[in-house]
Amino acid sequence: MPTKLPALIAMVVIVMSTASVASAQAGRPDANAGQTVGLFDQSCLRFAGDTAGLRNWIWAHNLPQVQEDQAAPFLGAIGTGEVFGASTPDGKLALVSYDSGACRVVALAADAPTAENMLLTILGKVGVSVSQILSRSKPDGSSKQDVFEATLGPRRWKISITSKPHSDAPNLAPELSLLATAG
């Protein structure tokens, strides 16, 4: 494991705490962005490509597994895996561990630009090289996706940040999905 990875995790904890306090004080709907990025860093970035390691980490942190019928929407077209609840006082989160080694954190409502800014800032501060390889939006505004390649020494990730508005609750911050794959 690269030596800078613990520094990355420590940086996320500091930024998450600051962002959560600031967001809560301002009453903004993006209070969940810091928690989403923190969970993504601690789980998906750390264990992308290592399904057994991720699931051991999940069990060690006592995250409850989501029932199979409720897990299906989170697994989607990517395939099989397990889904765990990771809700915080700021909002509901799901941690998805795919059998393929991919990992995703989904927030019911979080601000994607805030989360993306936080994640890229944290990665940059610990020396992770990041380049954007795709940015697309559906013409009807129903979703936006940014895809990045990231490297730190021998570690390589593909990171996807997707936001999707809630059609049934237009005033709610969009659903946010952070996906990491190894390689």
pLDDT given at position 2: 45
Render the burial of 100-124: b for 16+ CB within 10 Å, e for the rest.
Answer: ebbbbbbbbbbbbebbbebbbebbe
Checking if the pLDDT of 160 tops 70, the result is yes
Indicate the pLDDT class of residue 150, thresholds 50, 70 and 90: very high
pLDDT given at position 78: 67
**What are the boundaries of each domain within the chain?**
5-182
Distance from the Cα of residue 177 to its chain's centroid: 6
d(CA 37, CA 47): 15
pLDDT given at position 84: 96
pLDDT given at position 147: 97
pLDDT given at position 157: 96
Query: Would you say 54 and 40 are in contact if contact means Cβ atoms under 8 Å apart?
Result: no
Count of CB atoms within 10 A of residue 150's CB? Answer: 19
Q: What is the pLDDT of residues 163-178, one digit of tens each?
A: 998 777 766 678 899 9
d(CA 69, CA 47): 25
Q: What is the pLDDT of residues 56-99, one digit of tens each?
A: 999 999 999 999 888 988 888 767 999 999 888 878 899 999 99
| Short-list 64, 61, 12, CA closest to 37 | 12
Q: Of all residues in the chain, what percent carry a pLDDT higher than 70?
A: 81
Write down the mean pLDDT value for the chain.
83
Distance from the Cα of residue 138 to its chain's centroid: 21
Q: What is the pLDDT of residues 16-45, one digit of tens each?
A: 333 433 333 333 446 789 999 999 999 999
